[in-house]
Amino acid sequence: MITLNTPDVTTVQSTGPSGSVTTITNTLFVSSVTLDMTTGAIYATIQRGALLNGIFTSNFPTLQVTVNPDGSFISQDGTWSGSVGSIAASLVASLKTQFDQFILASGAVSGTETV
């Protein structure tokens, strides 16, 4: 989990009896990641929320983030974008090699790894 240095504070005004509701989001939780070993893209689901009594509680819509092989990234709503540089390509390449190795190391199949 990622604790934000500066929490995101959102206040929603309503005309009902509840008046306004203030939501403080101070924690991000990467809840799932999909690696496309063919293209090198990384797809992540990031939940936004807060820690309450040590338990993460989502309080804002999740974001889907795509990290391209060149390191550029963007969230599905466009609010997050930028670049993480070449780390994305090297991460996927390293994980691909490790996955290939553990499949062979399991003994369930035999063969050689092609690099």
**pLDDT tens per residue, range 68-92:** 999 999 999 999 999 988 887 888 8
pTM of the full structure: 0.75
pLDDT exceeds 70 at position 115: no
Closest by CA to 72, choosing from 41, 45, 93, is 41
Residues 6+ apart with CB under 8 A from 95: 35, 37
Q: How far apart are CA 30 and CA 12, in angstroms?
A: 25
Q: Determine which helix (DSSP H) or strand (DSSP E) holds 114, and give its type and residue range.
A: none
pLDDT value for 83: 94
Closest by CA to 96, choosing from 73, 84, 113, is 113
- Count of CA atoms in the C-beta half-sphere (13 A) of 70: 3
